[in-house]
Amino acid sequence: MRTLFKPRDRASTKATKGGLVNNPFVLPTIITALKLVAAFVIIASNVKLFGGGCDSNHYHACALSRTDRAYNHWSILLRKLNSMGLYNRLGITIFLIIAASIIIPYLVARLSAVRDSSKPEKAFWMAFTATAAYPTLFFMSLDIYRDVPMVLLFCLALLCIKRINNGDNRASVIQKTKFSALFFALVGMLYLLRPYLGLALLAAYFISPFFSFSKQPLALWIAVFLVVVLPLGHQFGIFERLLRYRALFRDGAQGGANLGIVFSDDAWLFPIIFVKSLLMQLPGFFFPNKASVILFILEGIPFLWGVVYLVKNRRFTDKFVDFMAVFFVIYNTVWIIGNDNLGTAARLRIFGYIAVLISCVIVYRKHELSTYHGSE
């Protein structure tokens, strides 16, 4: 009987604990489990975080035909589901929670894959964990918002681009054509949900083959963008529609999260105001309340670190990262000009943040692989 209760060897116990701590699967599992528990507790208690629920209540009213004002195709889709007897607010919310907690983190981790990486599991779970821990993505999954479906479609579109750009060189033209067709279909869906998101992906598809993030002089391109592109765009009225939309934030009741930035009619002051708007919205250097401070710590600081890391190690980028860099500039330029509310900015920047995260993990893996081969 003594042998049955014999104490385990200290060395084996230590090895087991060390293996558990060092296992890259542990942390994402804990985070995902905590998110799922928190989500269902919040739903069961009917708590509305940060005053949320206005958009989702409108979508619900549209789905039940209580209002004819459908602001976007997400409302129309929910109404069609209801007409077919397939609409259930709680059921769709549960799917969005699972998508934000498991499916999207998995897709982001897949997008971060690099062939022949020395530690693929570590990098995979690193990308999975960072996405699973994304606060705004979690918040937007707690009701029938359109953001999580858009992120899901966005990741699928990026998977197509990755197969086109970084696929096997022996891949047939037919295979690449199929992925291109699928990409265009996904872009079309995103265009219906958020037009400039779909257009930014489409523009990046055609522009990125002529751009190299690792070789282009970034300082020169930034200067051209600020000194030439933005002033000329403003002068010729390209941004007029965006500026009219931005004015709605001043006229409407958007609470204390409004930035209060007004773009000048002077084309040469436009870049200065743009940079101010960028700093306040993209990383979040605007603190009207405690939630904005927390969001900056959890999202803004990691984002800034990721951008610095990419610039310092851009020699390890590839064509897929080039695509995301072009998309990042086009997409963020549009909404930074058109938006004047920090709460809305937290939702709009999700796609740029995910692009930076994927790029960082790819660069990290390629850097690691280069170091590994260099030491042989």
Instruction: Tell me if 19 is assigned to some domain.
Output: no
Q: Greater confidence, 10 or 285?
A: 285
Verify that 172 and 213 share a domain, yes or no: no
Q: How far apart are CA 139 and CA 149, in angstroms?
A: 13
Instruction: Tell me if 195 is assigned to some domain.
Output: no
| Contact present, 191 and 205 (Cβ < 8 Å) | no
Q: How far apart are CA 112 and CA 359, in angstroms?
A: 7
pLDDT of 32 > 70? The answer is yes
Q: What is the mean pLDDT of residues 245-266?
A: 76
Question: pLDDT digits over 108-163, tens only?
Answer: 999 998 876 555 678 888 899 999 999 999 999 999 999 999 999 999 999 999 99
| Contact present, 330 and 200 (Cβ < 8 Å) | yes
Verify that 125 and 223 share a domain, yes or no: no
Tell me, what's the pLDDT at 264? 82
Tell me, what's the pLDDT at 6? 47
| Contact present, 140 and 351 (Cβ < 8 Å) | no
Q: What is the mean pLDDT of residues 92-108?
A: 96
Pair of tokens at residue 374? 């260099």
Greatest extent of the chain over all pairs of C-alpha atoms, in Å: 89
Tell me, what's the pLDDT at 7? 46
Verify that 129 and 272 share a domain, yes or no: no
User: Which residues form the domain of 304?
Assistant: 209-376
| Contact present, 348 and 294 (Cβ < 8 Å) | no
Instruction: Tell me if 196 is assigned to some domain.
Output: no
Verify that 243 and 327 share a domain, yes or no: yes
Verify that 235 and 166 share a domain, yes or no: no
Question: pLDDT digits over 282-305, tens only?
Answer: 999 999 999 999 999 999 999 999
pLDDT of 43 > 80? The answer is yes
Verify that 366 and 253 share a domain, yes or no: yes
Verify that 148 and 241 share a domain, yes or no: no
pLDDT of 12 > 90? The answer is no
pLDDT of 2 > 80? The answer is no
pLDDT of 4 > 50? The answer is no
Verify that 321 and 356 share a domain, yes or no: yes
Verify that 257 and 116 share a domain, yes or no: no
Q: With the CA atoms of 31, 35, 37 and 42 taken in that order, what torsion angle do they form, in degrees rounded to the nearest 10?
A: 150
Q: What is the mean pLDDT of residues 354-376?
A: 83
Verify that 217 and 123 share a domain, yes or no: no
Q: Pinpoint the alpha helices (H) of the chain.
A: 10-22, 26-45, 54-63, 73-83, 89-98, 104-111, 120-132, 135-139, 147-166, 173-193, 195-207, 218-224, 230-235, 240-251, 270-281, 290-295, 301-312, 319-338, 342-348, 350-374
How remote is the C-alpha of 178 from its chain's centroid?
A: 25
In percent, the amount of the chain with pLDDT more than 70 equals 86
Q: How far apart are CA 29 and CA 230, in angstroms?
A: 45
pLDDT of 277 > 50? The answer is yes
Tell me, what's the pLDDT at 311? 95
| Contact present, 313 and 367 (Cβ < 8 Å) | yes
How many domains does the chain fold into? 2
Question: pLDDT digits over 189-226, tens only?
Answer: 999 999 999 999 999 999 999 999 988 899 999 999 99
pLDDT band at 357 (very low <50, low <70, confident <90, very high): very high
Verify that 82 and 116 share a domain, yes or no: yes
Q: Tell me how long the chain is.
A: 376
Verify that 336 and 218 share a domain, yes or no: yes
Predicted TM-score (pTM) above 0.85: yes
Question: pLDDT digits over 46-94, tens only?
Answer: 766 554 557 888 899 999 988 888 778 999 999 999 999 999 999 999 9
Instruction: Tell me if 318 is assigned to some domain.
Output: yes
